[in-house]
C-alpha cells in the first residue's frame, strides 16, 4: 500500500513540475518584479502602479486571453517558452484585444503597433502571428545568451523581453534588465501562471 502512495506522489510531483514550471528561459514563478510603471496603469484607467496594476490589467485581459490559451500552449511548446510569458506579452501589447495588431519590426523591436493609418484592426490573432511574436522573443533571448554567456536563465528572459521592445542593442549590462516592458510583462505572466497558463 505504501508503494502505491509513493508512486502516486511521484506522479503528482512530475505532473505539477511539468505543467507548473516549463520553458527554457527562466522560471517566472521565482522572478521578482516591480510591475508596471505608473503611466501604464493610468492609460488603462488605474490610479496606481506596480505589481497591483499589472495584475489588475492581466485580470481585465484574462477573459480575452483565455480563448488563445490552447494556441499559446502549442506555440509555447514549439519555442520552449512558458505560455504565461506569451500571455503576459499579449496582455501588454494588445490589452483586451482593443488595439490594432501588427506583429512586425518596430524601431528594431517587435510588437503591436497602434497606428490606424497603417494597420487594420484584427479581431483574432492567429497561431502564425503568435508564433512570429514568440520566435522574435526567443531570437532576442538567444542574442542576450550569446552576448552574456555567464548570465542566468532568468536574466536571459529579462534581457530578451527588454530587447524585444528596445531592439538588440538595448541591453548592455545587468542594469538594463529592469525595463518597464519586462517588469510589467513578468508581473502579468506571474498572474496568468496562477490562473492556468
Active site residues: 93
User: Exposed/middle/buried for 45, CB within 10 Å: 0-12, 13-18, 19+?
Assistant: exposed
Amino acid at each position: 500500500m505504501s508503494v502505491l502512495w509513493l508512486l502516486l506522489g511521484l506522479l503528482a510531483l512530475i505532473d505539477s513540475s511539468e505543467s507548473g514550471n516549463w520553458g527554457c528561459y527562466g522560471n517566472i514563478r521565482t522572478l521578482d518584479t516591480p510591475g508596471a510603471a505608473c503611466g501604464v496603469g493610468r492609460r488603462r484607467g488605474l490610479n496606481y502602479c506596480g505589481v497591483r496594476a499589472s495584475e489588475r490589467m492581466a485580470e481585465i485581459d484574462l477573459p480575452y486571453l483565455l480563448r488563445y490559451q490552447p494556441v499559446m500552449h502549442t506555440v509555447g511548446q514549439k519555442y520552449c517558452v512558458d505560455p504565461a510569458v506569451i500571455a503576459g506579452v499579449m496582455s501588454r501589447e494588445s490589452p483586451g484585444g482593443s488595439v490594432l495588431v501588427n506583429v512586425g519590426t518596430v524601431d528594431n523591436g517587435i510588437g503591436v503597433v497602434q497606428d490606424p493609418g497603417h494597420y487594420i484592426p484584427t479581431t483574432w490573432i492567429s497561431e502564425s502571428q503568435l508564433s512570429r511574436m514568440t520566435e522574435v522573443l526567443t531570437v532576442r533571448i538567444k542574442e542576450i545568451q550569446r552576448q552574456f554567456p555567464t548570465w542566468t536563465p532568468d536574466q536571459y528572459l529579462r534581457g530578451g523581453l527588454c530587447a524585444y521592445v528596445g531592439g538588440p542593442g538595448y541591453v548592455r549590462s545587468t542594469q538594463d534588465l529592469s525595463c518597464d516592458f519586462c517588469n510589467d510583462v513578468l508581473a502579468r505572466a506571474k498572474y496568468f501562471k496562477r490562473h492556468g497558463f
